Amino acid sequence: MPKKPGAVSSGKKTLTLIDVAKVAGVSPITVSRALSRPEVVSQQAREKVIAAVRQTGYVSNMLAGGLAGSKTRLVAIFLPTIANSIFADTVQALMDRLAQAGYQTLLGLTGYCAEQEEKLLEAVLGRRPDGIVLIGTLHTAASRLRLAQSGVPVVEAWDLSDDPLDMLVGFSHEAVGQATARHLTAKGYQRFAVVTLDDPRGLRRTDSLIAELERQGLQPVRVHVAAAPATLAGGREGLRQLLDQAHTPQIVVCSSDTLAQGVLAEAASRHLRVPQDLAVMGFGDLSSAAHVFPALSTVRVDGQKIGEQVALALLERFTSGPEQPCAVRIDTGFTLIDRHST
Amino acid sequence: MPKKPGAVSSGKKTLTLIDVAKVAGVSPITVSRALSRPEVVSQQAREKVIAAVRQTGYVSNMLAGGLAGSKTRLVAIFLPTIANSIFADTVQALMDRLAQAGYQTLLGLTGYCAEQEEKLLEAVLGRRPDGIVLIGTLHTAASRLRLAQSGVPVVEAWDLSDDPLDMLVGFSHEAVGQATARHLTAKGYQRFAVVTLDDPRGLRRTDSLIAELERQGLQPVRVHVAAAPATLAGGREGLRQLLDQAHTPQIVVCSSDTLAQGVLAEAASRHLRVPQDLAVMGFGDLSSAAHVFPALSTVRVDGQKIGEQVALALLERFTSGPEQPCAVRIDTGFTLIDRHST
DNA sequence: CTGTTAGCGCCTTCAC
DNA sequence: GTGAAGGCGCTAACAG
């Protein structure tokens, strides 16, 4: 049975532009134009085409379109994982904005096997996406190189690398540290301690916090550096060590909500009231944290805003052409959430 | 500057099969075969091709491949929303399995605007996906019709429609109701009450629960039906109403964890101990529920397993061709999670 | 096992 | 504003 390769299903030949053109009584190219740039064809032609499309149930083949026009209206998003993810807001906002502008999104999950990540990237590149968004980190250097060579517009979000590939949307960790310090000193806290992960971004926030405190003439800060990954146990151990020392802190600033929860757990087991006896500040504002520990203050990063900014950056690049400056850096800011009763 | 349309970046002409073929000293079709079905070319040719690919950094253009071969290796997934989603496990497992088999996934978010859902579907269909997965519900009837006409293999998951479009992976709500009843009566509960949403699936579970209780000769069950959507307030109101009546229940079975949390809240405000004074059973096992209310029993649906089954069903269909029976129904089952201390 | 031929369905460029 | 030719990069079908 000599069925055409592209045939959709039993017997019915695939509907093409040409079929629609015949029905509408115009040439194929007019159909194409009426669909992609309605403003360049006459009102009359447009209406005939639209009627014919509806009548036939035609659906444009974007593979052919992409092949011929080198515009796929496809954006690939790489993220570590979709489950319980702090990135969900970002992805949601990004996808909404892109869909609104007529772009579809291909999702790539990088969280597991680092060697398979390269295969994933290659497969995705094979679809010739108009843009790629990296949320979190792309693990292998080879992947980053391949991406750079491909010439596809790239936006990195959330995880601020120091040498962005192309565009970048995030926030300043230094600004977070400084703002945290100012906020807390303004509330009257004087004796600070820090529990941070041994992680570049967390350490940058810590350094900045300490610098600001020193600028204000406050006494040295005790810092406990926990080994990655962040765990409750790490937080508990951190507070334990800090309290062993003579000089008891009024507030402990943590580099993540997970560590902060560990600190809270240790505080509870010592019958310290939060925030009266010991205030605790986290980072990230995982939704669960708010439920479980209403007394935990934290820094919220607005994931939704990040997603929107990423979409904006991409769409602008799409319309303005490739001769724009690269390495654009957009700062989305962050929000201090103060849940201390004080 | 007459740059080729498909050009990747400055000056460099896009790399094609032909370029690789020249380097390898074979014909283009041999390159194609070596890449897509390595087993049909000679060892020798394969090695030459692989070397040439590595040397040139060639990335196959799947648009062209899809157009010519009518296999896109693309699967579209529709789901209501990515944020805080109970479906995350399913999507993750599904994507993993598909990626493993060389398929990429296009994500479509249907959760918001029902009219825009149709545009989304059309756009997705334009990419000629090899399969479509519906997680949750596709809202408009028109969309379902279009999908059916398109002839693309479809798997519906989680939300068991009574007339599946094609394949279906889920679990029996009747079985859940019956199993819940049996489990609880076996533990000695006798006076049941139900708080359910006015939702077809929730009501089916409720009916089945009641039928089983009657079969065991237990007295009539009081049912409170709350208007959608599920809220904490709805659960509180439900328990309030149930307790106003003379016959106090020992256990309240809820159609969702959200309602169950409302019931728990109301119970707490009345100083009822859970589960001693009043046991509560939810449905869904949202992860937050477990954290916040360790005493809440619930029914967990194994989202991961569903994702795996969906992938299996699709991949099998892909390999076995379209002349297979449709409307396959796979039951993934569910798990009762008993967190009651009793 | 390998190569040739002929499109896949659309969009570009250029003419009218 | 509209149309005609040509090609995007790949693979199915057949021939060798």
Q: Average pLDDT, stretch A131-146?
A: 88
The pLDDT of residue A310 = 93
How confident is the model at residue B259, as a pLDDT? 87
Q: Which residues of A touch B287 (CB under 8 A)?
A: 84, 288
Residue nearest to nucleotide D2 (CA to C1'): A30
Q: Is B44 on the interface with A (CB under 8 A)?
A: no
How far apart are the C-alpha atoms of B342 and B334, rounded to whole Å? 22
B36 touches strand D (CB under 7 A): yes
Interchain proximity A59–B6, CB inside 8 Å: no
Partner-chain contact B125 A59, CB within 8 Å: yes
- Tell me the mean pLDDT in the region B102-123: 90
Distance CA B88, CA B75 (A): 17
| Confidence band of A69 (pLDDT split at 50, 70, 90) | confident
Q: Please, what is the average pLDDT of chain B?
A: 85
Confidence of residue B13 (pLDDT cuts 50, 70, 90): confident
Nearest CA in chain B to A112: B96
Contact B150 A81 (CB under 8 A): no
C-alpha A240/C-alpha A141 separation (Å) is 39
B73 touches strand D (CB under 7 A): no
- Partner A contacted by B124 (CB < 8 A): yes
More confident: B94 or A328: B94
- B185, B189, B201, B243, B252 from B181: Cα distances, Å: 6, 9, 16, 21, 11
Residue B111 contacts strand D, CB under 7 A: no
Q: Which residues of B are less than 8 Å from A61 in CB distance? A: 67, 126, 128
pLDDT tens track for B40-84: 999 999 999 999 999 999 999 999 999 998 899 999 999 988 876
Confidence of residue B7 (pLDDT cuts 50, 70, 90): very low
DSSP code, position B166 = S
Residues of A in contact with B6 (CB under 8 A): 70, 128
Q: How far is B135 from chain A (nearest CA, A)?
A: 15
The reply to whether residue A83 touches residue B61, judged by beta carbons under 8 angstroms, is: no
Predicted confidence at residue B83, as pLDDT, reads: 73
Q: What's the confidence (pLDDT) of residue A115?
A: 83
Residue A261 pLDDT exceeds 90: no
Q: How many CA atoms lie within 13 A of B155 on its CB side?
A: 30
pLDDT confidence bin for B201, thresholds 50/70/90: confident
- Yes or no: say if A106 and B72 are a contact pair by the CB < 8 Å rule: no
A1 touches strand D (CB under 7 A): no
pLDDT at residue B338 in the model: 64
CB pairs under 8 A between A and B: 139
Q: What is the pLDDT of residue B254?
A: 94
**Among the listed residues A291, A239, A288, A229, the one whose alpha carbon sits nearest the alpha carbon of residue A260:** A239
Between the CA of A329 and the C1' of D9, what is the distance in angstroms? 36
Smallest Cα distance from A66 to chain B, Å: 7
d(CA A279, CA A133): 37
